[in-house]
Chain A
């Protein structure tokens, strides 16, 4: 595996389900991100982890719960989602330089989530 991988690629879930998205980066980076991309809207940053510590929670509802067990893996746990949460969820990684995340981010292929 190379780059940033995400599973599953597609997910359909009901509003009462619980599911998790997985991201793994093979680039040796130590910062990871979750983004949400909805149709006709800019990419929205959801969470940032530097060195496994969450440094950003961009006012994301609690029905989205991130987990970063190590610098290579990132999860997004989902529960009681709403139809408006249907979107493409993208994971990205970058390299921390001088204590701050470097600027070039590399994206995974995304998980296309549909909430019914």
Chain B
């Protein structure tokens, strides 16, 4: 059973700090990795995707991928109260099956 794991949280950080969200996955053949943000009562919104080892930056967000360790993270710099949401890690398994597997999500709370 292919799995994606995340700490459920809640993760609390003060406004302006760096929030670090972590995700591990079991399928070593995974090739594509995504971070979605989901506000309470809303649908998931894609915020980052990464395919290659290393870092990918987009504004205040940085995704980090380490395939050898089967680990992907999301850093949010200068955290704002509006970043308070649940962050879902998603992993594309074997591309032949076109299936994205979602983790349970980490709840982030940014304290003003």
Q: Chain A interface (Cβ within 8 Å of chain B)?
A: 31, 40-43, 45, 48, 50, 55-56, 58, 90, 100-101, 103-110
Contact = CB atoms under 8 A, between A and B. Distances in A.
Interface string B2-13: 001000000000
> DSSP class of B's interface residues: helix, strand, loop or mixed?
strand
A85 to B, nearest CB: 19
Contacts of B98: 31, 48, 50, 55-56, 100-101
Contacts, number: 51
Interface in B1-33: 4, 32
A43 B44 CA distance: 10
A41 B104 contact: yes
A90 B44 contact: yes
B37 to A, nearest CB: 11
**Interface residue range, chain B:** 20 to 34
A4 B102 CA distance: 20
A90 B43 contact: yes
B95 interface: yes
Contacts of A58: 99
B46 A104 contact: yes
Nearest to A99: B98
A25 to B, nearest CB: 13
B4 A42 contact: yes
Contact of A43 (B45, B95, B96, B102): B102
Contacts of B90: 43
A39 to B, nearest CB: 11
B60 interface: no
Contacts of B32: 103
